[in-house]
Chains A and B, each alone.
Chain A
Amino acid sequence: AQSVAQPEDQVNVAEGNPLTVKCTYSVSGNPYLFWYVQYPNRGLQFLLKYITGDNLVKGSYGFEAEFNKSQTSFHLKKPSALVSDSALYFCAVRDGRNDYKLSFGAGTTVTVRA
């Protein structure tokens, strides 16, 4: 069975500073990894994904994530955070190509202060 862990409930950073949101996963096959963002009273918006290829994945709004197979991690990063990045971030995983179950982490609330 697959699982996802987001070890931090909250991340607080100052505007302009680097932002990192941590994610680790557990699967039996090849991981398909995703990051989503949710703004208050909204649905989930896709940010980026890792399926195969380069370990560093670039996504929307200046976000990127690095796949680390040995550490089973897929941390989300942004070099310079904006106040508008304040939201709830979810990491998600599928266990391979033919897995129809997308499992989510518990979410990390990011607050960027001006």
Chain B
Amino acid sequence: DTAVSQTPKYLVTQMGNDKSIKCEQNLGHDTMYWYKQDSKKFLKIMFSYNNKELIINETVPNRFSPKSPDKAHLNLHINSLELGDSAVYFCASSHPERGTEAFFGQGTRLTVV
């Protein structure tokens, strides 16, 4: 069973479109994250949710809107896609209060053309 799964794995779309990436974890963790990995492989946290509540929003443009329908899911919707949004997006989950490490999904490679 995949611990953290995100779909789709690849996403190619045109500028101006709206797209969503889905993430699900079956680890029973309370906290979920979205990270962006740019072309230089730098990993930057975008959002952190704990028990469906937004905890961290790292100055991400409001075109990016995360939604957590329940503790096991954290989806990322992106409006009006721009060329600079091209990156690999990783979902992760953990249980910080228990000192657990974060488990990462396999990533979604978004290419905006």
Contact = CB atoms under 8 A, between A and B. Distances in A.
A98 B48 CA distance: 13
Interface residues of A, number: 25
A36 B104 CA distance: 10
Chain B at the A interface: SS class: strand
B31 interface: yes
B interface bracket (residues with beta carbon within 8 Å of A): 20 to 34
Contacts of A97: 96-97, 99
Contacts of B90: 43-44
A107 B102 CA distance: 17
A102 interface: yes
Contact of A51 (B33, B48, B99): B99
Contact of B105 (A36, A43, A104): A43
A16 to B, nearest CB: 27
A107 B96 contact: no
Nearest to A38: B41
Contacts of A101: 45, 48, 56
A102 B102 contact: yes
A43 B101 contact: no
B59 to A, nearest CB: 13
Contacts of B44: 104
Interface of B: 31, 33, 35, 40-45, 48, 50, 55-56, 90, 92, 94, 96-97, 99, 101-107
19 contacts: A32-B96, A32-B99, A34-B101, A34-B102, A42-B107, A43-B90, A43-B105, A46-B102, A49-B99, A92-B102, A94-B96, A100-B48, A101-B45, A102-B33, A102-B102, A104-B35, A104-B43, A104-B45, A107-B41
